Each structure stands twice: as C-alpha cells, then as structure tokens.
Amino acid sequence: MDMNVGVIGSGTMGTGIAQVAASSGCKVKIYDNQPQALEKCRKSIQGSLQKMLEKGKISQNEAEQLFGRISFIGDLTALNDSDIVIEAIIENIAVKSTLFSNLEHIVSENCILASNTSSLSIASIAASCKKAERVIGIHFFNPAQLMQLVEIIPAIQTSDATTEQALRIISSWNKIPVLAKDTPGFIVNRLARPFYGEALRIYEEGIADFATIDHAMKHFGGFRMGPFELMDFIGNDINYTVTESVFTAFYFDPRYKPSFTQKRMIEAGYLGRKSGRGYYDYAEGAAMPKAAEDESLGKDIFARILVMLINEAAEALHLNIATARDLDLAMTKGVNYPKGLLHWANEIGIDFCVDKLDELYHNYHEDRYRCSVLFRKMKAEGRKFEIN
C-alpha cells in the first residue's frame, strides 16, 4: 500500500515498525527527539538489511530502495503529510496523551493516529484528541519484522471507518491482524498471564523447581520455551510490569496477581539474559540445572498451567474480547503457542478442563481458580468451541 507513514519513537519497536512499513512500499518518517537514538535506529535497519542480503532474502537494489524510503527526523512537524502515524514510545498514559494532542495540530484531519501500546487504555489516549474517532491501537509484537500478529484495538470513540482502514493497512503489510476489545492486556498479554503466574505459583508452593516446570511445558506441551526461560528472555522487569499493570487495571482480580518471587528477582537485579542472571545463570561456563525425571509430576504441572490458560481464553470469549478465531490466532501467531487455546480445549475435552479447574478451586478456595461460566454452560450442553 503506497502511503506516507509516520513512526514516533526509534527504539526496538519503532525501528521494527518502520522497516515493516518500508518493506511494503510505504514512505516512512521515523521521529525521535534524541539524535543518538535516531542514529542507532539507522544503523539497526542497515544491519538488518545487510543480514537479509547475506541470506539472499533481498537483492542489493531492493535493500537500497527499502532504505531509501525511510527518513530519520528530529522535527515532529515533518509528519504533517502522514496518512497514518504510529507511536511506539514509553508506556506512560500521560506522555502518550500529550503527544497525541500535539499531533492533532500537525497532521491532516484524515490521518489515522495509532498507538503501539501493549496494554494501556486506547479510550484514554483517544480522549486527548478533539477528533477521537481517528485514534486506534495497533499493537505489534517484538521483533515486528518477524512476528506475524498485530492486534487492532478500536476505542469506544473509534469510527468503523478507522478500524476498517487500519485492518486493510496491516493486512497490506503482510501481517495477520486480529481485532480486540479495548480491555487491559488486549488478547495476548491477558491470555498469557497464567503461563507465567501459575508457573511461579507452582514454584512458590515447592512443587517443582524452575527447570522441572520449564521441561514439563516443553516436553508435554510442545512450547518452544518454558515460562522461566521465557521470562528471562523477555526480561523479568518487563514481564513483571505487564503483570502488575494488568492486575491493577482489572481492579486487582486475583487471576492476575503478581508474584513476590519475580519482584525479588527484579530487586536483586536478576533480570534475565540481559543482566546475565535471572531464574538461570547465564555466565560463561555456568551449568544449567537439570529437570526432575518424574513423568507424573511433569504431566500434572502441564495440565495445571494449560487449563488456567484455556480458562482465560474461555473467559475472554465469554466477555466478547475477540472472536474464537482471533483468540486462537493471537496465541499461535503472537507468542508461538503450539496450538490455539480454544482448539486445545476441544482436543483435551471441555469436561476435563472444567473438572481440573473445580479440583483446583476445591483445593485452594481462591477466586484465582474460578471456572468461566461459559465453560460450565458448554459442559452442561455437551458443546465444543466453534473456531472458524
């Protein structure tokens, strides 16, 4: 799609989004008020294109043309000819709102203003604009150049025309868009919370160590990384912040309760791979711990975490956060789950899921383990999820 795209923020996400848009033939202006950040962005894109050249994915001419479509700017007013502007700056509602309010005086009335926020309220951001109907959430996943999924999140103020245009744009960029309701965490960051939270709970109860829990999810579930490996990869500080944000935004619903284990890791500076130590020690020569060889324990761990994930997906469907198709697409394409969670529920059985959740609730009597009412109805009626 031939259009003018503005990207605000030249960090990892902004850089990736700019490259995605330019790869699809768009003219891109990437803005940052820090010259050194822009220079880092320029070198990052050049490095990425060089790797693609070496792998034979693009020709020298294609690389030059793609890079030639990207401008690096330090003046926000230069975005005045944009058809769409996507911000990818700090996750702070006040900062984003100020930016969007300022943008309205720069761009045309028909320019779409989009936020790449991963969990903040799109309605709050839109409220900072006089023409709120052209504001929408367009959430890419890292690395944007490689990850196929993009969440499209209209606010209650967003017009149907803006939503439809956003869906068309993202599809034309060879991405897979899913439509999500403007609720905390949208789809992926909401549905994925039990993958981390329940794993941490199992560890805190002394049921298994990090390596055993990770092994269970990879060996029995087919996940590429276990929860502790993934938290170390993402960064404990980032993962904890998302959990805390979702927990607070959902009025402290115990299903999203953060873990003191993870909080203490952050306080100790054990952030994961980027700090050299997290749940595992990444120092050169450090031995990785071995998982316990207990098949029964591994299966129990996997089943417990899986039904918690599935229950979250069922509840999201019940509350019309997204369609069954988009919920499953989001988890397979956004975080590389081996199967869609609702498809997985059909496979292992609705009865099994409900019974396992009831067993957990009976043992703990915590609202964390409450079974979705949709699950109960489906069990009573003998139905499966319809995923089109």
Q: Are 139 and 125 in contact (CB under 8 A)?
A: no
Q: Are 19 and 45 in contact (CB under 8 A)?
A: yes
Instruction: Please give the full DSSP string across 102-148, using - where no structure is assigned.
Output: HHTTTS-TT-EEEE--SSS-HHHHHTTSTTGGGEEEEEE-SSTTT--
- The question of whether 239 is a catalytic residue gets the answer no
Please give the DSSP secondary-structure letter assigned to residue 83: S
**Which one of the listed residues 115, 128, 189, 239 is annotated catalytic?**
189
- The question of whether 118 is a catalytic residue gets the answer yes
**Which one of the listed residues 4, 48, 128, 139 is annotated catalytic?**
139
Closest CA to 144 of 122, 121, 114, 176: 176
Q: Determine the number of helices (DSSP H) and then strands (DSSP E) in the chain.
A: 17, 8
**Which one of the listed residues 97, 116, 118, 236 is annotated catalytic?**
118
**Which one of the listed residues 10, 115, 151, 245 is annotated catalytic?**
151
Going along the chain, which residue ranges are E strands? Answer: 4-8, 27-31, 70-73, 84-87, 112-115, 135-140, 149-154, 176-179
Cα 13 to Cα 2, 246, 317, 370: the distances in Å are 22, 21, 29, 36
- The question of whether 139 is a catalytic residue gets the answer yes
For residue 319, the one-letter residue type is L
- The question of whether 189 is a catalytic residue gets the answer yes
Annotated active-site positions, please?
Answer: 118, 139, 151, 189
